[in-house]
Amino acid sequence: MDSIQDMDGSSGSHHHEITIASSHNLIINTSTLMNSTAASTPTTSLAAASGSSSSPSSSSPGSSSRYENQKRRDWNTFGQYLKNHRPPLSLSRCSGAHVLEFLRYLDQFGKTKVHTPICPFYGHPNPPAPCPCPLRQAWGSLDALIGRLRAAFEENGGKPEANPFGARAVRLYLREVRDLQSKARGISYEKKKRKRPPLPQQLPPPPLPPPGHHLHHPSQQ
């Protein structure tokens, strides 16, 4: 059983794990986790199909292990999705368009409220009341997922130039989702620019002596 971990942008630090059962149809359930550890599922080969991610930002052994386990689960989950695709789809024939299908498919299991332009709470970061607007996968979750799948593709033998997770269409889609959710939810996804350390203050040069003034040098004896 494989899973894709989804961080709900509207639920703080809680994580949602999308679980896929290996049956003829994909069965997905969400369960809230806190600091979940991944099961040690064997990694599938490129021929068997699957997805991945990039290197973890933290260098601690615990973070690296959780990241690798999550990446392996994501890779196996995408492979399961390809097997259940109608008609079945091999990884070698997978394109950016199929990756977009996968992301849109996951949207139905999202937990992030995305207000429509006609909603009175459009652009409101903290709506005071419920509304019928749809739930979607948070942009941050999709962006992190694509990063893991992109890395896993190459780790499992895929060529960088043929990586469907790095396709231009996928990058544009993620940018569109980011901008749409940012406006709809009234929040900013812009990364904070690091403040440059102030330059050391330089002391002004000493004043020049007045004209006609000569320095007195002691005479040598």
Into how many domains does the chain fold?
Answer: 1
pLDDT at position 200? 66
Q: Is residue 11 part of a domain?
A: no
Q: Which range scores top for mean pLDDT: 6-10, 17-21, 50-54, 151-155?
A: 151-155
The closest alpha carbon to 135, from 163, 110, 106, belongs to: 110
Distance CA 64, CA 50 (A): 20
Q: What is the rounded average pLDDT of the residues 64-93?
A: 91
Q: Is residue 60 part of a domain?
A: no
Distance CA 176, CA 48 (A): 31
Q: Is residue 25 part of a domain?
A: no
Kindly give the pairing relationship between strand 15-20 and strand 2-7: antiparallel
Q: What is the rounded average pLDDT of the residues 89-106?
A: 93
Query: Domain range spanning residue 108?
Result: 66-183
User: Tell me: the pLDDT tens digits for 128-151?
Assistant: 999 999 999 999 999 999 999 999
Using alpha carbons only, give the angle 192, 193, 199 rounded to the nearest 5 degrees: 145
Place of tokens 């969400």: 30
Residue 5 φ then ψ, to 5°: -80, 130
Instruction: Determine if the pTM surpasses 0.75.
Output: no
